[in-house]
Amino acid sequence: MSTPQSALSIQSVRLDDANSAIILLDQTLIPNETRYLTLTTQEQVWEAIKELRVRGAPAIGIAAGYGLYLAAKQIAAGLPADAPFATFQASFLAASKYLGSSRPTAVNLFWALERLEACALRHAAQPLAEIVASLRTEAEAIRAEDEQMCKSLGEYGLSLLKPGMGLLTHCNAGTLATARYGTATAPMYLGHERGYDFKVFADETRPLLQGARLTTFELQSAGIDVTLICDNMASIVMKNGWIQAALVGCDRVAANGDAANKIGTSGVAILAKHYNIPFYVFAPTSTIDLKCATGDDIHIELRSPEEVTSKWYARPMAPAGVKAYNPAFDVTDHSLISAIVTENGIAYPPYSQTLAQFVR
């Protein structure tokens, strides 16, 4: 029997510049199938982000950067070489706005798009070919920086943990959601390499089951001890004394430390507070939005009711026509968060005073 491929060796998003394409692992098919998609149009990139074929804030940012670069490449190819920058920019900004409409909550999406917009402006006086080349360099830098960022998150996160700990995580903040290592899973991977022998409990994470499908898939493939639990079992494993820390990722952090993450994260934080278990949010600084005052200002995406009523069943498991409320995210109040781990260091309360020093 062949040895399963470790998720750490999987590159979930990469650029195939020769074919003007993004090669993307379709995360909606894991764990039953490993299929890579070839995306060559803006519509395909938009759909992949919207439908969570690529997911995880950093991976979304990487895909968006590549997508906007490919849009620029296509726009420039359709213009005379000496076309004015303003002509190029109008179509370029329209492509950016279109990609940004795919997922309104994930700040990395807009961070990556705005980064490429700024890059184009910096090179506005250059020929279109050189602008496009600069945009490719910027998009590749987003991916490379993400890998290093995740490694740094892991080192800082590991400093909060001890060998033999039981860890609880919610959703998927793993290597599949980033360039490598993940955010909340980074200390798990680094600890595993160093013999920490963590025991990880992964919530299944309704309604899209990222914990069940993705987190357990990648941790198990890497040889990490992982146990899958239903979302409503978090309390009992905490009460049993099996959890010494909860580690989660995030899609956006407000200036006061409120953090948006996959629906159910807030409930885990409330339980952790009750059982005196530290609750750590792993936040690349690209997800920290200092212009967003509190979690009340974070837009919460509502998704299709079918994800709750019928998506994961051979037959619908709810009465036909029943209403279903299906928010994709919730916001964990800053008062429930023990620390926010960034690639530049660990922020502690009061976050309204400490977070800014880590955003460079």
Per the CB < 8 A criterion, the answer to whether 325 and 247 are in contact is no
- The two three-digit tokens of residue 33, written as one number: 């199938």
Cα–Cα distance for residue pair 179/13, rounded to 1 Å: 8
B/e letters for 173-191, b = 16+ CB within 10 Å, e = fewer, are bbbbbbbbbbbbbbbbbbb
Q: How far is CA 351 from CA 261, 289, 292, 344, in A?
A: 17, 12, 13, 15
DSSP 280: E
Per the CB < 8 A criterion, the answer to whether 203 and 264 are in contact is yes
- The two three-digit tokens of residue 173, written as one number: 């903040």
| 43-51 own/partner pairs: CB under 8 Å, 24+ apart | 45/70, 45/99, 46/98, 46/99, 46/101, 46/102, 47/102, 48/24, 49/99, 49/102, 49/103, 49/109, 50/102, 50/103
Which sequence positions are flagged as catalytic? 251
Alpha helices in 175-275 (DSSP H): 186-193, 210, 216-221, 234-239, 265-274
Per the CB < 8 A criterion, the answer to whether 247 and 200 are in contact is no
Cα–Cα distance for residue pair 199/203, rounded to 1 Å: 13
Cα angle 303-305-311, degrees, rounded to a multiple of 5 = 100
